[in-house]
Structure 1
Amino acid sequence: MRRLVLAGATLAAASVLPSQAEEAVMPDQNHPYVGLWVTDDGHVRHELLPNGRYDEARGTRESAYRGRYEVSGTHIEYWDDTGFTADGDFVDADTLHHGGMVLRRR
C-alpha cells in the first residue's frame, strides 16, 4: 500500500494507481495548466505551481492567498491554507473561470 502525504495528512492510496495518485496530488511541471493566470486588469495574479500549490496576489498584496489545488480534466478545486475552498473551470488552454473572474494565461 502506498501512502501519500498531503498538507500534513497521510492518505492511503491502495485503490488508486500510482500515476493517478501522483497526478492528483502533485501535477507534473509540464501540466498544461501550471503557470501564471491573470485577470485582464492585472489585479488578480494566480500562479499554479507544479508542486500542487497555488499562490494568488491581489493588487499590491503579494501572496494574498495560498493553498493547494487539484485538477481533474478541465475542473480545478482549491483548498486555501486558511480553510476556504473554491473551484473553477478551464474554458480553453488560455482561459480560466474562477470565483466569478476570468483569468488568462501569461
Structure 2
Amino acid sequence: MTSQTLSHPYVGMWETTDGRIRHQLLPNGRYDEARGSRESAYRGRYEVSGNHIEYWDDTGFTADGDFVDDVLHHAGMVLYRKQ
C-alpha cells in the first residue's frame, strides 16, 4: 500500500444514482461494495494513482476506473460521491 492511497481525496462512499451499487473506499486502502440489499458483496484492496483507481477483489478478480470531475466511472457504471 502506498502513502498516496492513504492520502488521496476519494475516500468515502460512492454510489449509483439509484443507490443500488455502493462503493465504500476506506482510508486504509480497502473497499467494500454493496449491491442492492447485499451488503459487502465484494471486498478487497484498491490503489489510487492520480485520477485512476485499481481494484483487487479478495476473490481474485481485478477492475479499474477513473475519477472525472468528482464522478467515478467504473466497469460501465457511474458512481457519485454520497453527501
| TM-score (normalizing by structure 1) | 0.73
For 1:104, the equivalent position in structure 2 comes to 80
**Mapped pair 1:22 → 2:35:** no
**Mapped pair 1:73 → 2:73:** no
Secondary structure of residue in 2 paired with 1:27: helix
Query: For residues 37-52 of structure 1, what are the structure 2 equivalents within 5 Å?
Result: 37-52=14-29
Q: Percent identity?
A: 76
Q: CA deviation at 1:103?
A: 0.1
Q: CA deviation at 1:73?
A: 0.4
Give the AA of the match of 1:78. Answer: Y
After TM superposition, the runs of 4+ consecutive aligned structure 1 residues lying more than 2 A away are none
Unpaired runs of at least 5, structure 2: none
C-alpha separation in 1, matches of 2:9 and 2:3: 16
For 1:3, the equivalent position in structure 2 comes to none
For 2:41, the equivalent position in structure 1 comes to 64
Q: CA RMSD in A?
A: 1.1
| Total equivalences in the alignment | 82
For 2:67, the equivalent position in structure 1 comes to 90
